[in-house]
């Protein structure tokens, strides 16, 4: 008797083949049969008539490093069909962790990934010092989905070099050797890679760039060679210039990444996004990645499925917040603040003031009203230029800031507006489509668990189906079989997880049953449910009939079943 049969769905197998109608049988956590009609009995049958059946999503770019110690569901990623997450990205994480450096690691994560330090300080359950001990801690957790992690350069540098590492002082040869030893021990204990960050946009809460931002090549290669010695692992990074803060950085970064990948014969995957400073730079980076790919060098750009968008509002941040009259109201409870903002005298004062000129990275994040849009319900992440606040105001003969002020107050002050920050320079997602289609690219950068006060992109997997497969009207769509492959077998294989990612006999039974016709991605909302009542933006979806992890249904019709079959992914997994 089978444990579960999924009956009559349109199966998209994750390998990129066209869909077909059939059944999937599961027993003891693996797929045991796939066919047009499976007649053997089963303990439960899931009716998938009218739905699609896919491998469950493998999200390779998350930051649940702290949340995993208090939240077994890793929301919101698990709400969107994700059953495997990779943490430890961008050089930040919580292991190794000397007892006297824990507070510093929290400040590093808070600054880089916008996870409230109060939530981390209250919610984190420490139980390790070394990286192998961290993996043992994860191995003991009861989880609704599988977790994998990487060795974060920032934590390693702080552990080996102390304050010298935290302050980005040059590493000595002994420092490099000690860091490489930790990386190798982590890989041999089960980490899936090592990560670093080189963008000045990533800073600790005290303003210091992430440890390793200015690391010399020998330090980077030292960690990479540890992967080669262990014979496993991926080298992941946020490169210099990813936000356009250094236009000359792209070629320099690609040069050393290619040489490193060629020397160690391990994948090097880096964040690639379109930015406004040079809107066509991504094309050159893809060309260089393809040259490496054709030469057999595993350099893999990691791209996003929708623009990285800041959500603006009274509960997050907005371009009026630096004006003196508004600053005086900032600390008020939301309802009281909204009442004060309705006062005509307060309104007139705020609109008469101007903010100071921004410098550095804040100058790159421009908040002009020609780049800000109403989000809508369901949210529109590909708005036309003529839908900007500035364009709407010009159409209606209004002052744009006056209109913006009104929009902030809608929905009792809970309104959210969209500023597409990266990936939307030309007011179209066509560049994103090209990046997703590129043979070297890996789909990622949803940042689940991170940037919770301004960004909510952990729902990208759902968006790939609603927008790119079904709903897009302002350009070409993408075929469902390609989108499913990009979120399953492609991401799993990059990180060596060959036991999952396709609907095939003997593969791990991680599956989604989705009512694609009625799949709805709702607008994000602010919640105050992190430890200590800290805030985070959350986004829900309707249409996930069932999500299955190792043969157990963990979510049914949008609700947690209480099943906890998730586990730590230790090292590369054989098919």
pLDDT above 60 for 280? yes
pLDDT for position 360? 58
Residue 361's pLDDT is: 54
CA distances from 33 to 474, 509, 535, 575 (A): 40, 11, 44, 16
> What confidence category does residue 246 fall into, taking pLDDT thresholds of 50, 70 and 90?
confident
Name the DSSP letter for residue 260. Answer: H
Task: Report the pLDDT averaged over residues 62-78.
Answer: 98
Q: Is the pLDDT of residue 354 over 90?
A: no
Q: What is the mean pLDDT of residues 477-497?
A: 98
| Band of residue 126 on the pLDDT scale cut at 50, 70, 90 | very high
Percent of the chain with pLDDT over 90: 95
Mean pLDDT along residues 323-332: 96
Q: Provide the H-helix boundaries in 299-371.
A: 324-327, 334-341, 344-352, 361-364
Measured from the Cβ of residue 399, the count of other Cβ atoms closer than 10 Å reads 10
pLDDT in tens, 536-561: 999 999 999 999 999 999 999 999 99
Residue 194 clears pLDDT 90, i.e. is over it: yes
- The answer to whether 449 and 77 are in contact (CB under 8 A) is yes
Domain with CATH 2.30.40.10 in the chain: 2-55+515-558
- 57-307+424-514 architecture in CATH? Alpha-Beta Barrel (3.20)
Say if residues 482 and 12 touch (Cβ distance below 8 Å).
Answer: no
pLDDT bucket at 574, cuts 50 / 70 / 90? confident
Give the integer Cα–Cα distance in Å for 247 and 575.
41
CATH assignment of 2-55+515-558, given 2.30.40.10, 3.30.70.2740, 2.40.50.140, 3.40.50.300?
2.30.40.10
**CATH 3.20.20.140-classified regions of the chain:** 57-307+424-514
For tokens 């107050």, what's the residue?
Answer: 409
pTM for this entry:
0.97
Residue 358: phi and psi, rounded to 5, are -90, 155
Q: What does the pLDDT read at residue 125?
A: 96
Contacts of 245 (CB under 8 A, 6+ apart): 199, 200, 201, 277, 361, 364
pLDDT for position 363: 62
Q: What percent of the chain has pLDDT over 70?
A: 98
**Neighbouring residues of 561: CB distance < 8 A, sequence distance ≥ 6:** 552, 553, 554, 555
CA 461 to chain CA mean position, Å: 10
User: Would you state the pLDDT for residue 445?
Assistant: 96
Confidence at residue 42, expressed as pLDDT on a 0 to 100 scale? 98
């Amino acid at each position: 008797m089978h444990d579960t049969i999924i009956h009559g769905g349109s199966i998209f197998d994750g390998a990129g083949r066209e869909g077909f109608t059939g059944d999937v049988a599961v027993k003891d956590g693996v797929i045991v049969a796939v066919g047009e009609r499976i007649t053997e009995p089963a303990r439960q049958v899931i009716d998938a008539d009218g739905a699609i059946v896919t491998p469950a999503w493998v999200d390779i770019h998350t930051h649940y490093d702290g949340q995993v110690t208090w939240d077994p569901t890793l929301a919101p990623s698990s709400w969107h069909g994700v059953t495997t997450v990779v943490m430890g990205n961008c050089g930040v994480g919580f292991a190794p962790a000397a007892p006297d450096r824990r507070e510093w690691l929290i400040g590093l994560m808070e600054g880089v990934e916008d996870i409230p330090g109060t939530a981390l300080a209250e919610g984190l359950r420490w139980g390790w010092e070394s990286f192998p001990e961290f993996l043992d801690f994860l191995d003991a957790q009861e989880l609704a989905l599988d977790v994998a992690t990487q060795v974060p350069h920032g934590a390693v540098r702080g552990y080996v070099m102390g304050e010298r590492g935290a302050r980005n002082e040059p590493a000595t040869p002994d420092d490099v050797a000690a860091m490489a030893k930790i990386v190798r021990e982590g890989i041999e204990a089960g980490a899936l890679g090592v990560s670093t960050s080189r963008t000045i946009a990533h800073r600790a809460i005290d303003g210091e760039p992430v440890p390793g931002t200015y690391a010399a090549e020998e330090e980077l290669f030292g960690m990479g060679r540890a992967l080669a010695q262990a014979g496993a692992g991926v080298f992941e990074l946020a490169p210099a210039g990813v936000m356009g803060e250094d236009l000359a950085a792209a070629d320099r970064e690609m040069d050393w990444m290619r040489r490193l990948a060629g020397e160690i014969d391990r994948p090097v995957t880096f964040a690639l996004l379109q930015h406004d400073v040079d809107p066509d730079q991504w094309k050159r980076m893809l060309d260089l990645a393809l040259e490496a790919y054709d030469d057999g060098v595993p350099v893999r750009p990691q791209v996003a499925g929708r623009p990285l968008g800041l959500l603006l509002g009274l509960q997050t941040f907005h371009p009026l917040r630096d004006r003196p009259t508004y600053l005086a109201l900032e600390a008020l409870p939301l309802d009281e603040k909204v009442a004060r903002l309705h006062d005509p005298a307060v309104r007139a004062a705020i609109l008469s003031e101007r903010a100071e000129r921004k410098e550095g990275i804040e100058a790159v994040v421009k908040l002009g009203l020609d780049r800000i849009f109403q989000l809508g319900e369901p949210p529109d992440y590909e708005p036309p230029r003529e839908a900007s606040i500035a364009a709407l105001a010009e159409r209606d003969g209004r002052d744009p800031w006056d209109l913006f002020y009104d929009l902030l107050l809608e929905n009792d002050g809970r309104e959210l507006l969209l500023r597409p920050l990266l990936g939307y320079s030309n007011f179209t997602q066509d560049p994103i489509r090209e990046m997703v289609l590129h043979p070297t690219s890996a789909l990622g950068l949803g940042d689940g668990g991170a940037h919770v006060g301004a960004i909510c992109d952990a729902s990208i997997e759902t968006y790939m189906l609603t927008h790119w497969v079904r709903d897009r009207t302002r350009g070409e769509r993408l075929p469902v079989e390609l989108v499913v492959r990009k979120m399953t077998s492609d991401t799993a294989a990059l990180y060596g997880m060959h036991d999952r990612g396709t609907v095939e006999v003997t593969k791990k039974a991680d599956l989604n049953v989705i009512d694609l016709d009625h799949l709805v991605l709702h607008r994000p909302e602010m919640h105050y449910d992190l430890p200590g009542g800290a805030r985070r933006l959350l986004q829900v979806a309707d249409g996930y009939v069932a999500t299955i992890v190792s043969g157990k249904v963990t979510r049914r019709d949008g609700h947690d079943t209480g099943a906890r079959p998730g586990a730590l992914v230790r090292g590369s997994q054989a098919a």
